[in-house]
């Protein structure tokens, strides 16, 4: 690209429409996250440089401007390190695109790319124990079409560990409800994976399909026949969690989202003794390190591992039997 071209708009458009969507195959969720991060940065830059946003130029995108934006996120917006790092990732992605298109400003872009992410404390994933999940699954009223849909959705999320975006995009063509019962999930970066289905999940989905005419549209729909949204799914889950909390105090004052069912699936698989690499493929993780964090969060698994470790050491002392005199010994002493 010639140095004379300094307008942001063409490069922003090519970054989102060509690079993210076509080259990287980014999901809609990733697109929205990067969009929001860059939008905040451009608004900040326009305010700091005192120029209309449409007049921003490439030479103005310097490392001190980016650092000022990151500081503002923490100081003014009260964002934590994790959010700061997400915004920085959006900027880095865009600047990497600029570097590929505009080598004349390579040093300027490399200074931005060298900004380190901030260390953030990794929070253990929130999950539900199986007893809590069963209590939630017992709440939908199967006498209604809405209840049948809700049970199918909750069972599907817990059975497959699918991301909510993956679950809500499932169509009838993705399902195989006869043996072997399975579903094809369309994951991140356009990567598909096959997940097996429980008999109960397959029956619940089959009933849902019989209620709603099978079409090319997603199987999970709202009362108007349109595809169920992320907010709609979150509302459905929250409603049944609040009902279950009336008899399960452990559910009170907890924020349970559809992604918590994904975590709950992963932990249940680990507790069942499934290998980490199998769970990685089951959940569609890129790295087994992502899957491994579920082990560190589960205290029961740590205790079980510790007990097995203790038994294998052979350090457990044998219980000593208390000596009790026999009748023969007493007779012997009496004879002395």
Same domain flag for 180 and 239: yes
- 245: containing domain: 130-301
Peptide bond before residue 212 is cis, with ω within 30 degrees of 0: no
**Backbone torsions φ then ψ of 137, nearest 5 degrees:** -65, -20
pLDDT given at position 206: 95
Same domain flag for 106 and 148: no
Same domain flag for 101 and 159: no
What is the four-CA torsion angle of 210, 211, 213, 218, rounded to 10 degrees?
A: -100
* Residues known to be catalytic: 163, 188, 259, 262
pLDDT given at position 102: 92
Same domain flag for 255 and 141: yes
Tally of CB atoms within 10 A around 166: 25
Alpha-carbon span 322 to 163, nearest angstrom: 59
Same domain flag for 44 and 164: no
Overall pTM surpassing 0.85 (yes/no): no
Residue 210 lies in a domain: yes
Tally of CB atoms within 10 A around 64: 10
pLDDT given at position 154: 98
pLDDT given at position 3: 44
Same domain flag for 31 and 141: no
What is the mean pLDDT, run by run of 10 residues, along the chain of 336 residues?
A: 63 93 83 94 96 91 97 94 94 96 94 93 85 96 96 97 95 95 88 94 95 84 93 97 95 94 92 87 84 71 66 64 64 64
């Amino acid at each position: 690209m010639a140095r004379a071209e300094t307008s942001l708009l063409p490069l922003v458009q090519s970054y989102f429409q060509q690079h993210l969507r076509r080259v990287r195959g980014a999901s809609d969720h990733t697109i929205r996250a990067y969009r929001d991060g860059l939008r905040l940065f451009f608004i900040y830059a326009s305010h700091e440089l005192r120029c209309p946003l449409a007049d921003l130029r490439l030479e103005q995108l310097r490392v001190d401007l980016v650092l000022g934006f990151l500081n503002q996120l923490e100081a003014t917006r009260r964002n934590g390190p994790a959010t700061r790092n997400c915004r920085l990732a959006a900027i880095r992605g865009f600047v990497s695109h600029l570097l590929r298109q505009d080598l004349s400003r390579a040093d300027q872009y490399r200074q931005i790319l060298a900004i380190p992410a901030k260390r953030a404390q990794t929070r253990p994933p929130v999950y539900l124990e199986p007893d809590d999940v069963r209590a939630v699954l017992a709440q939908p009223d199967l006498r209604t079409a809405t209840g049948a849909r809700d049970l199918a959705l909750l069972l599907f999320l817990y059975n497959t560990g699918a991301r909510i975006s993956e679950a809500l995009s499932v169509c009838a063509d993705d399902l195989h409800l006869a043996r072997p019962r399975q579903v094809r999930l369309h994951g991140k970066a356009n990567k598909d994976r096959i997940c097996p289905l429980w008999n109960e999940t397959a029956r619940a989905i089959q009933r849902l399909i019989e209620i709603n005419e099978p079409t090319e549209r997603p199987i999970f729909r709202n009362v108007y026949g349109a595809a169920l949204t992320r907010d709609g799914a979150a509302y459905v889950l929250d409603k049944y969690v609040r009902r279950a909390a009336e008899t399960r105090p452990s559910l009170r004052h907890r924020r349970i989202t559809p992604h918590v069912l994904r975590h709950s699936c992963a932990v249940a698989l680990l507790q069942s003794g499934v290998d980490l690499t199998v769970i990685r493929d089951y959940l569609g993780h890129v790295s087994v390190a992502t899957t491994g964090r579920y082990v560190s969060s589960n205290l029961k698994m740590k205790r079980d591992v510790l007990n097995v470790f203790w038994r294998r050491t052979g350090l457990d002392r044998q219980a000593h039997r208390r000596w009790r005199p026999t009748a023969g010994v007493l007779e012997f002493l009496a004879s002395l």
